[in-house]
Amino acid sequence: MAKTLFVCSQCGNESPKWHGRCPGCGEWNTMVEERAVEAPRSGGSSLARKSAKPARPVALADVEAPALARYETGIGELDRVLGGGIVPGSLVLIGGAPGIGKSTITGGALGNLATAGRRVLYVSGEESAAQVKLRAERIGPHALTVPIVAETDLETVVATLEAERPEVCVVDSVQTLYANGMTGAPGSVGQVREVAGTLMRVAKERGIAVILVGHVTKEGALAGPRVLEHLVDCVLQFEGERERTYRTLRALKNRFGSTNEVGVFEMCESGLVEVADASSRFVAEATRAPGSVVLCAMEGSRPLLVELQALVAPTELVPPRRVANGVDRNRLALVLAVLARHAGLGLGSSDVFVSVAGGVRVDEPGADLAVALALASAANGVPLGSEEKPLAAFGEVGLTGELRYVAHADRRLAEASKFGLEPVLSPDGRIRTLRQALRAGLSGAEQVAQAA
């Protein structure tokens, strides 16, 4: 068996046995098991330097970068997030909460690739082949054509990849595989690092696109060592709640595309179904009650209309509750402070709840104005917009109470115009402060054009 040692992830202190507290820096639970590297024989590093041949630098302009054709998965939203499809020889990590649909979307993608004539392989470490078949029957007949191997031993998986030479392989999940040379349990930091490193070398050497399915912690972050995210070429994150209909897929890291794209899916009886026009779904479900406003958000290169709701209720709790679902809690605190200082709307004695309907998460400053309008509407009990259509808005709120420009305003306005949401409250020059925007919004959407 290969020798191992324990290295502190904070200070690099090495120890032949595990310690709960690092003997070097005193940090707790930082000792990670790693393979011991044998020291070079006589001569040491000086001999290695003498025998090594220097590399010849090449100008980037002279480097030949062959254009690799991507593998289209047949799922448009997934291909968009990946940057156009799966790159041969790439390593993709997809994570999400249990039951969010990770295995469903990867199984459907492999089924589409197999139907298109690609060589694929599904490695299941969590479920038996019979259990995977039950899910494949729900997805469709194309998913039943995918060959599967139910195995958790890393050496067996690597030998299978060498023998079968698939073009695309899914490993579900990376936390269930184990390397015989490591003494830690499957899913431990050392095991996950060793498994991911071995699969990365196989993927690069053989040109196999490997998709790793990963677990998440209770905080929602990807489980395992941070080096796992550095090893892979692309990190995809499934967001949403299992009880909600809509799920979003984001790219947290992508070496072959943009990290601003997002895919929207809907969980149905037949599995995950991509939602090509999500704005129409959210606008149709938008209410006209006080505290509701349509936010013109940008998700990557495409606009997205979502309903943002707010609830303001008196409370005797000190301090009052501030709950944000789908928006950044720090941005909510900023908007509340600006409302109290520059708009005369103090909510210090009230509970405040803000939520984006449908389980969508919006991470951009352009949601500030919509949050402020929803809060003012909920606090005053006055609905926004008209009886026929809700009010749409976007814009960033500054600390001095001014409205600031946000990117892609023309695309946001065009998306709102497609659904008849006009006029739209935005920092267009006529409305420059938050106080003016609140006066225009609460007095009726038809007066927006005349607002000073």
Q: What is the pLDDT along the chain (452 residues), one digit of tens a residue?
A: 557 788 887 677 888 888 889 888 888 887 877 776 565 555 555 544 567 788 899 999 998 877 778 999 999 999 999 999 999 999 999 998 888 889 999 999 999 999 999 999 999 999 999 999 998 998 889 999 999 999 999 999 999 999 999 999 999 989 999 998 777 778 877 788 889 999 999 999 999 999 999 988 766 677 666 778 888 999 999 887 666 677 889 898 999 988 878 888 888 777 788 887 888 888 888 888 899 999 999 887 788 999 999 999 999 888 999 999 989 999 999 999 999 999 999 999 999 999 998 778 888 899 999 999 999 999 999 998 777 788 999 999 999 999 999 999 999 999 999 998 888 999 987 889 999 999 988 875 334 334 43
**Residues 337, 211 within the same domain:** no
How many other C-beta atoms lie within 10 A of the C-beta of residue 247? 27
CATH number of the domain to which 338 belongs: 3.30.230.10
HEC readout, 231-289: HCCEEEEEECCCCCCEEEEEEEEECCCCCCCEEEEEEECCEEEECCCHHHHHHHHCCCC
Supply the pLDDT for residue 447: 45
State how far the Cα of 68 lies from the Cα of 80, in Å rounded to an integer: 17
Q: Name the 3-class secondary structure at 76.
A: helix
**Residues 177, 198 within the same domain:** yes
pTM score of the predicted model: 0.76
Torsion of CA 188, 190, 195, 198, to 10 degrees: 180
* DSSP H or E stretch at residue 335: helix 329-342
- Structural domain contains residue 51: no
**Residues 95, 25 within the same domain:** no
- Structural domain contains residue 54: no
- Structural domain contains residue 201: yes
Supply the pLDDT for residue 446: 39
| Cα 75-76-80 angle, rounded to 5 deg | 120
- Structural domain contains residue 57: no
CA-nearest of 370, 330, 326, 378 to 352 is 378
**Residues 251, 300 within the same domain:** no
Query: What six digits make up the tokens of 147?
Result: 């060959």
- Structural domain contains residue 145: yes
What are the φ and ψ backbone dihedral angles of 350, each rounded to 5 degrees? -130, 145
Supply the pLDDT for residue 192: 86
**Residues 380, 441 within the same domain:** yes
**Residues 246, 314 within the same domain:** no
**Residues 388, 401 within the same domain:** yes
End residue of a domain, out of 252, 276, 300? 276
**Residues 327, 428 within the same domain:** yes
**Residues 270, 302 within the same domain:** no
Domain that holds residue 324: 279-447
**Residues 96, 9 within the same domain:** no
End residue of a domain, out of 243, 258, 276? 276
Supply the pLDDT for residue 449: 37
**Residues 111, 173 within the same domain:** yes
How many other C-beta atoms lie within 10 A of the C-beta of residue 379? 20
If one counts the domains in the chain, the total is 3
**Residues 182, 267 within the same domain:** yes
